[in-house]
Structure 1
Amino acid sequence: MDKNIAGKTMEKWIDELPMIKDIIDTNEVFWINSEIADFKKTDITWAIKKEDIEDAKERLKRFAPYIAKVFPEARENNGIIESPLKDISNFKSQLQDINGRLLLKCDNYLPISGSIKARGGIYEVLKHAEEIAIGQGLLSGNDDYSKIDSDEFKNLFKKYSIAVGSTGNLGLSIGIISAKLGFKVYVHMSADAKEWKKELLREKGVNVIEYDSDYSKAVEEGRKQAQNEPNMYFIDDENSIDLFTGYSVAAERLKEQLEGMNITVDEEHPLFVYLPCGVGGGPGGVAYGLKMIYRENVHLFFAEPTHSPCMLLGMMTKMHDKVSVFDFGIDNITDADGLAVGRPSGFVGKVMENLLSGVYTVKDDKLYMLLNLLAKKEEIYLEPSALAGIPGMFSLYNTEAGKEYIRKNNLEEKMKNSTHIAWATGGGMVPESQMKSYIELGENKTF
């Protein structure tokens, strides 16, 4: 108990923040962020401007003809990488009769790589490719970008390399799009990464470098490789503003989907969004964009495995990336591989300090039970990490912290008009045999 963590003993941290004891014991917790800004009283300084997000949205539109040409699965939506928003009332009825409508944002159906990483990861690669091509005089913003599918562009891009560190899904998105464009690509993968993801990348011509250590080691080695190779571009999941901005584009698109379903979001009709969180870039970008649009009328929660609560510890202690789960004796071992991160992004944690409503944790067994139930009731198939957003609605209504949040924000009378969105972050590319074993693991488990 006398070990120092960011200048304090474990005993001191537990004394100041008693919930840390439950976190260390890997119990499920529901933490409310006391630093969230009151939009009616505070002027927010936005780290990423609305124009930056609009610029990203327009860039993705420019690339849509290319995406549609080279990825047949993206043609239905004319090359725009987007996912459906689905009502899962059959599933919700099995959990508990609680107020509000529960929807699933199905990023497991995103084309190309079947996860939320198809947003930020593919976006950053496309932006990098565009900068190279424009710099070499082969492309202008007014061109039909389908021309990029040619030997001329592939011969250009093969002179350049891309590297990334990943637990799996970011590596898939970066690897698939980079290889398709013609880049040499290196994906440094942590021990948590599933074998089928590594095999799929190798089939696409990607160089996969494996580590026995966790996510942080994979990122460190990827960064180190890029520093030693002049034509190599490192995609930094921990600190990339481009990744973050690419994810943020999802918010405006979600707004359009809600309007298309005649769902109102205002003071009397609050929106709650629950986002699985690993290092933080994906959920942070989406949450940031939503907060910019809906301000005090959207309530945002991150979800983490009980064995990998890095963002929770970073935000709760206000130490962000200065602390890791290992500092608190937590092993970072979880079947939710996309969330198996020991140290959070300091960039994301600081950006979300005044915007995030809270963080909750969930046990692996519950993820499997929910996976099984969702498959049976809705015929929607997710990987374990993608289920982490689903218990959020239940926890909000059934924990003392959640009930207090509702009371404190004067939401009691508004909850009957509330909309809840669980962000399903991945699972679209899981092999059938693997998915079957996931479903079997969820049998006979209770919520």
Structure 2
Amino acid sequence: MNKVIEGKRIEEWIEAYPHLDEIIKTKEVFWINKNDASNNPNSSLSKVDIVDASERLKRFAPFIEKAFPETTPAKGIIESPLIEIPKMKRVLEKDYEIDIKGKLLLKCDSHLPISGSIKARGGIYEVLKHAEKLAIEHDMLTFSDSYAVLDYPRFKQFFSQFSIAVGSTGNLGLSIGIISARLGFKATVHMSADAKQWKKDLLRSKGVNVIEYESDYSKAVEEGRKQAASDPACYFIDDENSKDLFLGYAVAGSRLKKQLDEMNISVNEEHPLFVYLPCGVGGGPGGITFGLKMEFGEHVHCFFAEPTHSPCFLIGQMTGLQDKISVQELGIDNITDADGLAVGRPSSFVGNMIGHQLSGCYTIQDERLYSFLRTLADQENIYFEPSALAGFYGPIQLHSHRDGQEYVTKHKLQEKMESGSHIVWGTGGNMVPSEVMKEYYQKGFTIN
């Protein structure tokens, strides 16, 4: 361990941040963010930007409804159900010998239309914004038009002059590839070694160019950037630095508030809300956290979940180094079945945007993901891909881990937990082929 990271040997980093020792040994950890929320940096984004993104998605709703008939019930708005899962809650309480105080809810982004994952928020939004910009610049569209016209052949012919590129571990590539191809763009998805074969096959069936790499996510992103830099007509969607992706995710905050209101669930000083979000590079959970904080302020507590072998956001936040440190530099292999979370280096843009808003991070073993997968299927008849189950360990850790209880005490929440709510954010799974899902389910018997 003689390696030097930002002027310090790894031993010195461990001495400064003792949790690092367990993280390097790929043990499950639960870390509370000590960064004082009052030290809010000047954000380059605000509620106005989220409203602008929300209005843009409304403008595109007629096109979405026409191009993707499965969105007709919601009139072209891409949104997912929020449901209570009492059976799952009872089993988790029994299996882990705890009492989860308050309601346990599931946000089913696994069932978002078009691409079946949380990436249908940010990924689709950024492509739509780019398409709008091009069409308006070329005098083919005005804000007052019905955007249903975008499904006409002349628009597809127009967009075919342009290309879109992205680097992805899977789901972001799916969302961007599907919507780009449907609009008429030439789409290229640079896929890391972690990406599942069925996702590559599905993209190719939609006419998307998929380029595979033996390396991880960072290499896929790097190659995507190179492609865009060499072609003036190519637009690169940068998962590590994109404000538009971030804002597409952030729209979820106001929509979730509406769903909670419809369920008569309050979020205020006496009714805290805890949200557990699987995390890869940070964009999805970061954007949603930003949106939730805009709606609920200090009354919402957001925790990010990462695989024990890919805890990049946790490391970046804990050390304050953001993207100046990777899991590989600490000797962690970044190999996990949770393909959407297999990221070795976090987004510094997201880390700096929401680091002060984050309540904490925790890590979870792959085996436990499969155990949750099986339990959710058995108890609620809901099927997720492995990475989407990471949120379920959050309420367990908050109620049983010493640091979780310390968090509750520090924020004076002890007497309010019974009237609170916990939302596990299910990030993907609806498009997983049935034979692959059966394999996932069988793996759920490997851990008790």
Q: Shorter chain as normaliser: what TM range? A: over 0.9
Partners of 2:225 and 2:326 in 1: CA distance: 19
Q: Does the Cα contact within 8 Å between 1:36 and 1:357 map onto a contact in 2?
A: no
Mapped to 1, the partners of 2:36 and 2:167 lie a distance apart of 31
Query: Does residue 1:27 correspond to 2:24, yes or no?
Result: no
Look up the match of 2:85.
88
**Within the alignment, does 1:46 sit opposite 2:43 as a pair?**
yes
Partner of 1:5: 5
Which residue of 1 is the match for residue 338 of structure 2? 336
What are the superposed Cα offsets for residues 236-269 of structure 1, whole Å, 9 maximum, x if unpaired?
0000000000000000000000000000100110
Task: Note closer, same or farther for the CA distance 1:217–1:334 as it changes in structure 2 (3 Å cut).
Answer: same
Q: Partners in 2 of 1:98 and 1:388 — Cα distance?
A: 17
Give the match for residue 351 of structure 2.
Answer: 349
- 2:391 is paired with a residue whose SS is coil
Paired-residue identity, %:
63
* Counterpart for residue 188 of structure 1: 190
| Matched-pair contact (CA < 8 Å) for 1:36–1:353 | no
Count residues with an aligned counterpart: 443
Checking the alignment, whether the CA contact within 8 Å between 1:186 and 1:209 is kept in structure 2 is yes
Q: Distance in 1 between matches of 2:78 and 2:325?
A: 35
Map 1:304-343 → 2, pairs under 5 A: 304-343=306-345
1:68 to 65, 69, 74: 65
* Corresponding residue for residue 384 of structure 2: 382
Of 92, 100, 109, which residue of structure 2 is paired with 1:107? 109
Q: Is the Cα contact below 8 Å between 1:36 and 1:356 reproduced in 2? A: no
Alignment partners' CA distance in 2, 1:98 and 1:422: 13
Alignment check: 8 A CA contact 1:3 1:9 kept? yes
Structure 1 position 184, deviation (Å) = 0.2
1:220, 1:180 → 2: CA distance? 25
Pairwise CA distance, 1:36? 3.5
Paired residues of 2:323 and 2:345 also in contact (CA < 8 A): yes
Question: Would you say the 8 A contact 1:88–1:103 is kept in 2?
Answer: yes
CA distance, structure 1, for counterparts of residue 226 and residue 36 of structure 2: 36
Runs of 5+ consecutive residues of structure 2 not aligned to the other structure: 94-98
Offset at residue 43 of structure 1 (A): 6.5
Q: Distance in 1 between matches of 2:318 and 2:279?
A: 15
For normalisation by structure 1, the TM-score amounts to 0.98
Q: What SS does the aligned partner of 2:274 have?
A: strand
State the SS of the aligned residue for 1:426. Answer: coil
Residue 444 and residue 336 in structure 1: after superposition, are their counterparts in 2 closer, same or farther (change >3 A)? closer
The structural deviation recorded for 1:100 is: 1.1
The aligned counterpart of 1:412 is 414
Deviation string, structure 1 residues 389-434 (Cα, Å, up to 9, x no partner) = 1110000011111010001111111111110001000001000000
Q: Which moved more, 1:215-224 or 1:29-38?
A: 29-38
Distance 1:101 1:85, change over 3 A: same
CA distance, structure 2, for counterparts of residue 81 and residue 353 of structure 1 = 28
- Equivalent residues in 2 for 1:133-152 (5 A)? 133-152=135-154
